[in-house]
Amino acid sequence: MSFFSKVFGGKKDDKIPTASEAIQKLRETEDMLVKKQEHLESKIELEMKIIKKNGTANRRVSLQALKRKKRYEKQLQQIDGTLSTIEMQREALESANTNTAVLQTMKLAADTLKTAHQHMDVDQVHDMMDDIAEQQDVAKEISEAISNPVAFGNDIDEDELEKELEELEQQELDRELLGTNTPAADTLPSVPATPLPSKTKAPVTEEDDDLKQLQEWAT
């Protein structure tokens, strides 16, 4: 059984683990090796205490402790190398797993976009936009035609109106400069304040009386 088979706990004919499963296994192995490191470091520290305690006075004990210390340090060095390899492999798997997820998402988006455009034709879209622009131009022409007061007596020459207005303004200005306030021709005279004398009746003569009697007889 190979090293990786031992790590992942399977045989050669077992199903290959997924990226997520492999990453989890590598993390578990890292944790195990870190604990092994801590154990070896504690053992090295213990051997150092034995060496310091005995020194050259108990040479045999000191040498045995030194040999064990060297052996533990070598194992610790190997574990450090193994941890570096596992960390790089885990990071590579995590990166590959992320890339796979990103690619799957991008493929899903591409398929969705393809489905959305399945019943759309670029030429038809351009034709539709041309039709919209044409109808907008027609609407603009209709609005301009409606707002143009041609059918409502707009046959008066604007230049003539401007000329007449200037003449009226000039006449008014001339009157102000000359100080004339001539009343208009159609202004009626004011009513006199004092009442007019009443007409006196002429005295009735005899001829008038005879004429009246003749008229009564004739009727």
Q: Is residue 196 part of a domain?
A: no
90: closest CA among 142, 30, 165? 30
Residues 6+ apart with CB under 8 A from 96: 19
Contact 103, 54 (CB under 8 A): no
Q: Is residue 66 part of a domain?
A: yes
Q: Is residue 28 part of a domain?
A: yes
For 38-54, the pLDDT digits (tens) are 999 999 999 999 988 88
Q: How many domains does the chain have?
A: 1
Q: Is residue 22 part of a domain?
A: yes
Check: pTM over 0.75? Answer yes or no: no
In this structure, the dihedral spanned by the alpha carbons of residues 170, 175, 179 and 184, taken in order and rounded to 10 degrees, is: -170
Range of the domain at 58: 3-116
**Distance (Å, rounded) from C-alpha 130 to C-alpha 74?**
80
At what angle are helices 19-54 and 59-116 packed, to 10 degrees?
Answer: 160
User: Residue ranges of the chain with pLDDT lower than 50?
Assistant: 1, 184-185
- Write down the residue that tokens 């290959």 correspond to: 16
pLDDT reported for residue 27: 92
Q: Is residue 16 part of a domain?
A: yes
Q: Is residue 46 part of a domain?
A: yes
Chain centroid offset of residue 29 CA: 50
Q: Is residue 56 part of a domain?
A: yes
Rg (CA), the chain: 62
Residue 173 phi, psi dihedral angles, 5° rounding: -65, -40
pLDDT reported for residue 95: 92
Q: Is residue 172 part of a domain?
A: no
CA atoms within 13 Å, Cβ hemisphere of 166: 6
pLDDT reported for residue 141: 87
Q: What is the CATH number of the domain that holds 85?
A: 1.10.287.1060
